[in-house]
Structure formats: C-alpha cells, structure tokens
C-alpha cells in the first residue's frame, strides 16, 4: 500500500511542482521539468542494472516512468536552489559562463538530490545492487548512505543543471 501511494505521488509531483512554482515563485518551470526529464531518461536507461525498482508500472525492464519524471522535478529544485545560493553568495543571477555556478550546483546536489535519494531508498522505492556497484568507501554519517552516491550526485551536478539552464527556455517557447 505504501508503495502504491508513493508511486501515485511520484506522478503527481510533476504537476504539483509546476503549479507551486507558477503560483508562489512566479516562475514557469516547464522547461526545467522537461530538460531534467531528458537527463533522467538517459540516466535510468543507462544505469538500469544498478538498482531494482519496486513500483508497479514500468516501461523498460523495471524502470518506472514516474522515476524518469522525478529527475525533472529534482533538477528543477536543484537549479532553483543553486540560483538562490548563487545570488546570496555573489549578489547576481548566475550566467551560463560563470564558473562559480558549479560550486552552487554541487552544493545543491548535497542539499536537494542526495536527501531525496536517501528518503526514497529508505522508503523502499528501490534497492541498490551492491554486488554490481561494488561500493566500499563507507557511509555518510547520519544519512547511512554510501559516499559514492553523494559523490555521484556531485559529479552529475557539474553537468546536469547546465544542460537544464541551456534548454529550459527553448522547451518553454
């Protein structure tokens, strides 16, 4: 029952995210959602053997579409938080050519993406295939999550948010 509710929420989070940003932040995030979903599609299909999902509806092996859509939501949140941190630190909105944005993107990975990963894993949405991953760096204190997961998100945020920023406007046009 818990997984059915979570699966329903994973589908609903896309329109809810769009509505909340539109209503309260006065920001159209449709482009971010779409660009992030493209990255999520690549990630999920490329890394499918590394995790086992436990949702009912899947499209490729055990990859649920709601997880692919969830990447769009996560990247939308990461870009938003990264830009807020950037503005607080440097007093301006980041330009695509400003290398300092990598710092705030990686910080956002630790603040947004890694906790989302942790919560979903602990709720049983998926399991890591540790025998394939062969992770052995240890666990992040408090989160009880592999350091490799945090490091992977930090690496991903060096390119993902830039892709989202480059493509958000064309998708909204």
pLDDT single digits (tens) 30-73: 999 999 999 999 999 999 999 999 999 999 899 999 999 999 99
Closest-CA residue to 6 (of 69, 62, 66): 66
How far apart CA 47 and CA 33 sit, in angstroms, is 21
Q: What is the pLDDT of residues 76-132, one digit of tens each?
A: 999 999 999 999 999 999 988 899 999 999 999 999 999 999 999 999 999 999 999
The answer, yes or no, to whether residue 173 has pLDDT greater than 90, is no
Angle between helices 65-90 and 160-172 (to 10 degrees): 100
The answer, yes or no, to whether residue 172 has pLDDT greater than 90, is no
Counting Cα atoms < 13 Å in the Cβ hemisphere of 57 gives 11
Model confidence at 74, pLDDT cuts 50, 70, 90, reads very high
In the chain the beta strands, taken as DSSP E runs, fall at 51-53, 126-128, 139-140, 145-146
How far apart CA 160 and CA 78 sit, in angstroms, is 10
Place of tokens 């956002």: 108
CA distances from 96 to 4, 23, 162 (A): 40, 26, 7
Q: What is the pLDDT of residue 22?
A: 97
The count of domains in the chain is 1
Containing domain of residue 163, as a range?
Answer: 1-172
């Amino acid at each position: 029952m818990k997984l059915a509710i979570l699966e329903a929420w994973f589908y609903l989070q896309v329109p809810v995210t769009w509505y909340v940003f539109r209503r309260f932040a006065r920001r159209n995030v449709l482009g971010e959602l779409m660009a992030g979903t493209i990255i999520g599609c690549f990630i999920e299909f490329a890394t499918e053997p590394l995790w086992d999902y436990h949702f009912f509806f899947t499209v490729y092996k055990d990859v649920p579409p709601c997880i692919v859509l969830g990447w769009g939501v996560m990247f939308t949140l990461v870009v938003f938080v990264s830009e807020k941190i950037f503005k607080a630190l440097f007093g301006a909105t980041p330009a695509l050519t400003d290398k300092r944005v990598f710092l705030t993107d990686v910080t956002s990975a630790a603040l947004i993406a890694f906790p989302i990963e942790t919560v979903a894993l602990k709720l049983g949405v998926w399991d890591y295939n540790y025998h394939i991953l062969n992770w052995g760096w240890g666990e992040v204190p408090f989160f009880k999550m592999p350091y490799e997961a945090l490091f992977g998100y930090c690496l991903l945020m060096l390119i993902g948010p830039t892709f989202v920023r480059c493509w958000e406007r064309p998708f909204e046009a």
